[in-house]
Structure 1
Amino acid sequence: MEPSDHYELTEDSFQLGKWKTGNRGPRADLIQGKFFPLIISTLLLVSLLMSAVTLGIVVNLKNSQMTNGSLTKLQGDDSRWKDSIDTAQLLNIWRPFKEREYYFSSTPYLWKEAEQLCESMNSKLVVINNREEQGYIRLNVNHNYWIGLHDIVEEGKWRWIDGTDYASNIKFWAHNQPNNHGQFDEDCAVVGENGFWHDWPCDSLHFAICEKPAA
């Protein structure tokens, strides 16, 4: 007998929910014919959605990096000392000694920036008036720190920023200092880690010591 293209239900197969033995039942044809296109369409849609989400994340990251880079360039060097001002004011990092308070910066500045830093905190670059104060500062420095001494106005005529008389005030210059060494004008003074003073170009970077009366 030739195999039949049709399938026949028997009472037993109906009760068991099975088709009579044959090559392939209509249920497989139904799934392949009706649901297969739907499955393919769904998979394609999910793939497109995932690609769109990934692309959006990449674009956002690039835009964020570009924005941050642009802001950094726009802010320039001014933000460097302004951020430190905010930190100093927030933490109130002042060290008391005798009747004065001192702030030792953790960020290097140009001399003019250091002066502005201190002024923003109602203080001035430190003016060293005696050996005791000099000794205290020496114990608290491990780099070069700007102090409030300069000869910007007239070469060789050193001045303290608070008007203290330089000629009669105590001095702690290192050997052969100040020397205005080299081709650059060294018009601003620092106290080194050994406690002695050196003249440096005012546009070089050093830490700063601010001073104010004790509260």
Structure 2
Amino acid sequence: MDEEKYRDQFQTYTGRRNFLQRPFFPIYVLLAVSYLLIIIGLVVALSKITTVSSELNKTHASLAKDPFGSDFVLFPCGSDNRQWEYFNGKCYFFSLETVSWTRARNLCQSSDSQLVTIDGFPKQFFLQTRTRNERFWIGLHDIQTEGEWKWLDGSDYITGFKNWKAGEPNSYRNTDEDCGQLWINGEWNDYDCSSISYYVCEKALPSKSRVA
């Protein structure tokens, strides 16, 4: 009698234990799925990191071959020379100091450039919008022979573009004025070369191949 009683109680206990263990099975399944998803996420993240790293390496390699990189588009005249302004395939520097014409010529040459040559209306308009209300030396002169005006870069003055003020070029009080400048309204004026004015330098657009 007692054995049957204990046997029944043991079976009841065992049944209850199995009943209590069964609800944990779905939890184990969910945990396994969660771990699997985490692993998949890590694999995807690592894959993306590898892709980004590869792209960065390509960019660095490209920049090593081309120091200008995207800056060449943003700063055609050179990212390290942002005081130079780009216009129509060339670079221009507008001085912040006033000097004599000869000094201005030398300063431009020291920057691998020349005092600007004005060869048409587009450049004339560009320059006069940047120099309005001030005087700026340009690369025009008749220093060698009075009345024979020349551009420093050798451009043909006789048949080329001109924009002199009315009555210019001339001499002022019997004093030769041998150097050209942009007047305060953009027209050209001849002036005493030893006088001081601002100046405009001009140079070719830097080439990528020069620094490759």
* TM-score strictly above 0.5: yes
> Hey, what does 2:101 align to over in structure 1?
111
Q: Deviations over 1:47-90 (max 9, x none)?
A: xxxxxxxxxxxxxxxxxxxxxxxxxxxxxxxxxxxxxxxxxxx7
> Hey, what does 1:70 align to over in structure 2?
none
> Hey, what does 2:26 align to over in structure 1?
none
Q: Using the TM superposition, give the Cα deviation of residue 183 of structure 1 relative to its aligned residue in structure 2, in angstroms.
A: 3.0
The aligned length equals 126
> Hey, what does 1:162 align to over in structure 2?
153
Q: Which whole-Å CA distance do the structure 1 matches of 2:138 and 2:195 have between them?
A: 13
> Hey, what does 2:51 align to over in structure 1?
none
> Hey, what does 2:175 align to over in structure 1?
184
Q: Using the TM superposition, give the Cα deviation of residue 94 of structure 1 relative to its aligned residue in structure 2, in angstroms.
A: 0.1
Q: Can you give the 5+ residue segments of structure 2 that lack an aligned partner in the other structure? A: 1-79, 207-212
| Aligned-partner SS, 1:140 | helix
Letter of the 2:155 counterpart: T
Q: Deviations over 1:98-137 (max 9, x none)?
A: 1011000000010100000100000000000110000000
Q: Which has the higher contact order (CA 8 A, sep 6+)?
A: 2
Q: Using the TM superposition, give the Cα deviation of residue 203 of structure 1 relative to its aligned residue in structure 2, in angstroms.
A: 0.4
The answer to whether the aligner puts 1:100 opposite 2:64 as a matched pair is no
Q: Which whole-Å CA distance do the structure 1 matches of 2:82 and 2:141 have between them?
A: 27
Q: Using the TM superposition, give the Cα deviation of residue 179 of structure 1 relative to its aligned residue in structure 2, in angstroms.
A: 1.0
Q: How does 1:1-215 map to 2 (within 5 A)?
A: 92-141=82-131, 142-215=133-206
- Runs of 4+ with >4 A deviation: none
What is the CA RMSD across the aligned residues, in angstroms?
A: 1.1
Q: Which whole-Å CA distance do the structure 2 matches of 1:193 and 1:94 have between them?
A: 21
Q: TM-score, normalised by structure 1?
A: 0.57
Q: Which whole-Å CA distance do the structure 2 matches of 1:92 and 1:114 have between them?
A: 20
Q: TM-score, normalised by structure 2?
A: 0.58
> Hey, what does 2:22 align to over in structure 1?
none
Instruction: Describe the shift of the 1:159–1:186 C-alpha distance in structure 2 as closer, same or farther (beyond 3 A).
Output: same
Q: Using the TM superposition, give the Cα deviation of residue 193 of structure 1 relative to its aligned residue in structure 2, in angstroms.
A: 2.2
Q: Can you give the 5+ residue segments of structure 1 that lack an aligned partner in the other structure? A: 1-89
